[in-house]
A and B are shown apart, each in its own frame.
Chain A
Amino acid sequence: MAMLEVNHLSISFGGLHAVDNFNLNIEKGCLYGLIGPNGAGKTTVFNLLTGVYKPTEGIIRLDGQDITGKNTIDINKAGVARTFQNIRLFRQLSVLDNVKAGFHNHHPYSTFTGIFRLPKYFKTEKEMTSRAMEILKVFDLDKEADYLAGNLPYGKQRKLEIARAMATEPKLLLLDEPAAGMNPNETQELMDTIRFVRDHFDMTILLIEHDMKLVGGICEELTVLNFGQVLCQGETSAVLNDPAVITAYLGE
Chain B
Amino acid sequence: MKKMNKTTKNNFINYGLVLVLFAVAQTLSATGNLSNLLQGLLVPLCVYTIASISLNLVVGFSGELSLGHAGFMCVGAYSSALFSNVVGDALPSVPRLILAILVGAAVAAVFGILIGVPVLRLRGDYLAIVTLAFGEIIKNLVNILYVGVDENGIHVTTNSSGLKLAAGGKKIMKGALGISGTSTLYKDIKPYFFLIGVILILITLFIVQNLVHSRSGRAIMAARDNRIAAESIGINVTKYKLLAFTVSAALAGVAGVLYAHNISMLKVSIFDYNLSIMILVYVVLGGIGSIRGSIIATIVLYALPEMLRGFSTYRMLIYAIVLIIMMLFNWAPAAIDWRKRVLEKIHNKLPKKEAA
Interface residues of A (CB under 8 A from B): 50, 52, 72-73, 76-77, 81-82, 84, 88-94, 96-97, 100-102, 104-105, 107-109, 111, 113-117, 121, 124-125, 129, 145-146, 164-165, 167-168
Contacts and interface: CB of A to CB of B under 8 A. Distances in A.
B207 A115 contact: yes
Q: Most A CB atoms within 10 A — which of B207, B216, B222, B228?
A: B222
Contacts of A145: 3
B232 A89 contact: no
Contacts of A164: 229, 233
B159 interface: no
B1 A88 contact: no
B218 A82 contact: no
Contacts of A125: 4
Given A90-B221, A90-B226, A93-B221, A108 B234 contact: no
A96 B235 CA distance: 17
Given A114-B210, A114-B216, A117-B210, A94 B233 contact: no
A217 B218 CA distance: 37
Interface in B13-30: none
A125 B221 CA distance: 17
Contacts, number: 99
A93 B218 contact: yes
A168 B233 CA distance: 6
Contact of B221 (A52, A89, A92, A168): A92
B256 interface: no
19 contacts: A73-B231, A76-B231, A82-B232, A84-B228, A88-B228, A89-B226, A90-B229, A97-B221, A101-B219, A101-B230, A101-B235, A104-B233, A104-B234, A124-B215, A164-B229, A164-B233, A165-B232, A168-B233, A168-B234
A76 B234 contact: yes
Which bucket holds chain B's interface residue count? 20 to 34
B232 A104 contact: no
Contact of A73 (B3, B211, B215, B235): B235
B210 to A, nearest CB: 5
Contacts of B228: 52, 84, 88
A40 B212 CA distance: 43
Q: Most A CB atoms within 10 A — which of B210, B215, B236?
A: B215
Contact of B233 (A52, A81, A96): A81
A113 B234 CA distance: 20
Contact of A89 (B217, B225, B235, B243): B225
A19 B226 CA distance: 27
A100 B211 CA distance: 15
A98 to B, nearest CB: 8
Interface of B: 1-4, 206-207, 210-211, 214-219, 221-222, 224-226, 228-236, 243, 289
A129 B4 contact: yes
Given A73-B234, A88-B229, A108 B4 contact: no
Nearest to A93: B221
Given A50-B232, A96-B3, 11 more contacts: A88-B228, A88-B232, A90-B226, A90-B229, A91-B225, A92-B221, A104-B219, A111-B211, A117-B210, A121-B214, A145-B3
Contacts of B222: 90, 93, 101
A100 B216 CA distance: 11
B232 A93 contact: no
Contact of A115 (B214, B232, B234, B235): B214
B218 A167 contact: no
Contact of B225 (A90, A129, A146): A90
A-B residue pairs, 4 tightest by C-beta: A114-B214, A88-B229, A76-B234, A90-B225
A149 to B, nearest CB: 8
A102 B233 contact: yes
Contacts of A82: 232
Contacts of A129: 1, 4
Given A101-B233, A104-B235, A117-B210, A146 B3 contact: yes
A216 B275 CA distance: 63
A177 B229 CA distance: 16
Nearest to B206: A115
Nearest to A94: B3
A111 B243 contact: yes
Contacts of B216: 111, 114
Q: Most A CB atoms within 10 A — which of B207, B222, B234?
A: B234
Given A73-B236, A81-B233, A101-B235, A108 B215 contact: yes
Contacts of A111: 211, 214-216, 243
